Amino acid sequence: MNKAKRRAVIAGNWKMNKTRPEAKALIEEIIPLVKDADCGVVVCVPYTNLETALEAVKGTNIGVGAENCHWEKSGAFTAEISAGMLAEMGVEYVIIGHSERRQYFAESDVTVNRRVRAALDEGLKVILCVGETLEQREHGITERVCAIQTKAALEGVTAKELASIIIAYEPVWAIGTGKTATSEQANEVNHYIRTVIADLYGEEAAEGTTIQYGGSMNAKNAEELLDQVDVDGGLIGGASLKAPDFAAIVKAASRT
């Protein structure tokens, strides 16, 4: 495994947090702290904050992402936002398949795949989330679950398009719980997901794919997790809402 072949990306997932003035203030606090980052830095914010975020990051090394998108281009889908609407704004990234979407909003592998397709068609970069529940881990089917979710989401995605996909391995039991996967557990599953990518697209494509870890990554445990050979950055929830914590994680990713 050669980590040098891929770029680590630290992405904040703000979830349903921050008003527009709060978003502006947080991004302005983050900017000077991450300006020398040697990794990708992204903030994924609520739809209502996208314009504010895009304005605030102008001229900086920070990218902006949304937290989801719909698969249709337009139509009678009350409250939904299309990938094209995001792309037109200048949004660069979109999180798809987050476990909270799967769990609370009944998103399935099929709709995740459709959303991925729509995002790629609009030129967006996708942060695709996969991961097992505690019950699935206890039943020893972590790998099977991650393989199914990854393969289903990438159905119809070409090798060229894979370059626009970041995978985030997020064990559901570690999200927002303070229970982090150990660095070994994270590396093991990230490595396994890379073998799934290799099966689908070949060894070289797999070596070049950024695979993040997410789930209670914070300023304290980031260094150890990011040191792992198959962990190429992180998707950060809680800790991304505090500028010094988020910046510390970016710093840890920059040195590995």
Q: How far is CA 235 from the centre of its chain?
A: 5
Name the catalytic one among 92, 98, 107, 122. Answer: 98
Shortest approach of ligand PGA to residue 234 CB, angstroms? 8
63 lies in the site for ligand PGA, by CB under 6 A = no
Establish whether 170 is a catalytic residue: yes
Q: Tell whether residue 131 is a contact of ligand PGA (CB under 6 A).
A: no
Of the chain, the end-to-end C-alpha distance in Å amounts to 14
- Name the residue nearer to ligand PGA (CB basis): 13 or 210: 13
* Residue sitting closest to ligand PGA (CB): 237
Adjacent-strand bridge partners of 11 = 42, 235
Location of structure tokens 């790998």 = 143
d(CA 102, CA 97): 6
SS3 content of the chain, % helix, strand, coil (to 5): 50, 15, 35
Among 10, 83, 235, 248, binds ligand PGA (CB under 6 A): 235
Task: Give the footprint of ligand PGA on residues 167-186 (CB under 6 A).
Answer: 170, 175-176
Smallest separation (angstroms) from ligand PGA to the CB of 15: 7
Are 240 and 23 in contact by the 8 Å Cβ rule? The answer is no
State yes or no: residue 238 binds ligand PGA (CB under 6 A).
Answer: yes
Cβ contact 249:224 at 8 Å: no
Q: Which of 68, 149, 216, 228 binds ligand PGA (CB under 6 A)?
A: 216
Please, which residue, 156 or 176, has the CB nearer to ligand PGA? 176
Q: In whole angstroms, give the CA distance from residue 98 to residue 117.
A: 16
The least distance separating ligand PGA from the CB of residue 158, rounded to whole angstroms, comes to 27
CA distances (Å), origin 87, targets 47, 92, 107, 163: 12, 7, 22, 17
Residue whose CB is less far from ligand PGA, 84 or 153: 153
Q: Which residues are catalytic?
A: 98, 170
Which residues of the shown chain bind ligand PGA in the complex (CB under 6 A)?
A: 13, 170, 175-176, 214-217, 235-239
